[in-house]
Amino acid sequence: MNNPKIDLLTPKNYIRAFSFKNLGYIFSDITLSWYKRRDFLIIYQDGVFCSYIGSKAYEKALEEGKEIFSKDTYFKTFEDGFRKVIEEMTEYLSKSTEIKSVTISDFIDLRNLTNKAFYYFEKTEFFFTDLCYNGEMDAELKRNLFILGDDLKVKARPLLVQLITTIPYRFIDLVSKEKDINSGDLRAYSFDEIISFLEKGDKIKEDILSDRKKSFVVYSERGSRITLYAEEKNEVLKKFKKDIDYLNTTEFKGTTASRGRILSRAHVIIPELDQDYNLFVEKLNSIRFNEKDILVTETTSPDFFLLMQKAGGVIANQGGMNSHAAIVCRELGIPCLVGAEIATELLKTGDLIELDADNGIVRIIERVRK
């Protein structure tokens, strides 16, 4: 290997951030357009898109977050800016429905607004907030974290999800029809590559597109995003591939976000954002969920609230102490573990499990027979 960075792209140097099924290459470009400032790594294999933040960047973000949220003067400036961006996103999403033909400027405007939104929204993530929960909190810090999690994040998240999924997908569909190019292929382009296609008709080679649709590895270094191919890509994929022993795993751990203990059946819901956001919400609302089942998912959002009201507990792959799952479960008085990472892979709907959030453990009592 000639690239010394490859040796550093290992699980021990990165902390899992978020993961979703079936998100294409373009989503890595949208994400890293902002997060390239944070030493991010994105891996897509076996139909799963997973992002990671470098350990040093994680420590730096924790310190930065505590500084912002601990001082009212800093937080007030942050809050005012965040509220303005929420208004901008709301207005943009409303007007975007009027766009019938997509231009280069439309893609540039979308990227600029997405980056502005990520600047604020990233501060709601666990890698900015969790240090605040170490030790005693004063009233100022408690209030600011409450505003951040219960107000700003709740309002911004559905808007941001639409901004980074629904709108790009809609733009791609419009370009596909106008330029007679496969929309599935365009999802394997970057924004710059789409702009180049619109400007000069440049197309990505078929072998590259095919490769990206199967798997990809993209990382940030010194503010740039770098895509790996061939042997370098395969080497990193191999390092991060997890062998899940479903049948023989009897317990796993997470971070306690709300204490309590319950024995009940798991109900696994895997959010799929490779679709219009409204379709995602519609499918979520149609799920038949039994009272006191334990909700097992990647992460929760305001759209999950009705399910969470029925749930006996929640296990989330991602998130921290100020995540939506953590906050809502504490308000509902039900046990919750966050940061479980592979709970949705270790559990199936119907598994009888004990969620012991007092000790941060999930014990698998009985596997469902399927």
Residues 6+ apart with CB under 8 A from 325: 257, 299, 300, 308, 314, 316, 319, 336, 338
Q: Do 30 and 124 reside in the same domain of the chain?
A: yes
Q: What is the pLDDT of residue 222?
A: 86
Q: How far apart are CA 5 and CA 248, in angstroms?
A: 35
| Distance separating the N- and C-terminal Cα atoms of the chain | 44
Strands 261-269 and 294-297: parallel
Q: Do 218 and 360 reside in the same domain of the chain?
A: no
Q: Do 274 and 182 reside in the same domain of the chain?
A: no
Residue 181 lies in a domain: yes
Q: Which domain range does residue 202 map to?
A: 5-240
Beta bridge partners of residue 265, listed in sequence order: 352
Residue 310 lies in a domain: yes
Report the length, in residues, of the chain.
Answer: 370
Number of C-beta neighbours around residue 202 at 10 A: 12
Q: How far apart are CA 370 and CA 367, in angstroms?
A: 9
Q: How far apart are CA 14 and CA 11, in angstroms?
A: 5
Q: Do 265 and 145 reside in the same domain of the chain?
A: no
Of 240, 268, 284, the last residue of a domain is 240
Q: How far apart are CA 153 and CA 261, in angstroms?
A: 28
Residue 204 lies in a domain: yes
Residue 321 lies in a domain: yes
Rg of the chain over CA atoms, in angstroms?
A: 21
Residue 224 lies in a domain: yes
Residue ranges with strand state E in the chain:
14-21, 40-45, 48-54, 216-221, 224-228, 251-253, 255-258, 261-269, 294-297, 313-316, 336-338, 352-356, 361-366
Residue 80 lies in a domain: yes
Residue 245 lies in a domain: no
Tokens of 45: 């294999």
CATH number at residue 337: 3.50.30.10
Q: What is the pLDDT of residue 278?
A: 77
The amino acid that residue 298 corresponds to is E
Please choose, from the candidates 207, 206, 233, the residue with its C-alpha nearest in 3D space to the C-alpha of residue 219: 233
Q: Do 260 and 222 reside in the same domain of the chain?
A: no
Report how many domains make up the chain: 2
Residue 318 lies in a domain: yes
Q: Do 289 and 233 reside in the same domain of the chain?
A: no
Q: Do 218 and 199 reside in the same domain of the chain?
A: yes
Q: Do 195 and 257 reside in the same domain of the chain?
A: no
The amino acid that residue 146 corresponds to is F
Q: Do 289 and 341 reside in the same domain of the chain?
A: yes
Q: Do 49 and 163 reside in the same domain of the chain?
A: yes
Helix, strand, coil content of the chain in percent (nearest 5): 55, 20, 30
Q: What is the pLDDT of residue 162?
A: 92
Q: Please indicate, yes or no, whether the overall pTM of this predicted structure exceeds 0.85.
A: yes
Q: Do 32 and 168 reside in the same domain of the chain?
A: yes
Q: What is the pLDDT of residue 274?
A: 65
Of 209, 240, 271, the last residue of a domain is 240
Q: Do 256 and 236 reside in the same domain of the chain?
A: no
Of 240, 262, 297, the last residue of a domain is 240
pLDDT tens, N- to C-terminus, the chain (370 residues): 567 789 999 999 999 998 888 888 999 999 999 999 999 999 999 989 999 999 999 999 999 999 999 999 999 999 999 999 999 999 999 999 899 999 999 999 999 999 999 999 999 999 999 999 998 899 999 999 999 998 999 999 999 999 999 999 999 999 999 999 999 999 999 999 999 999 999 999 999 999 999 999 999 998 899 999 999 999 999 999 987 787 888 999 999 999 999 999 999 998 777 667 777 788 888 899 999 999 999 999 888 999 999 999 999 999 899 999 999 999 999 999 999 998 999 999 999 999 999 999 999 999 987 5
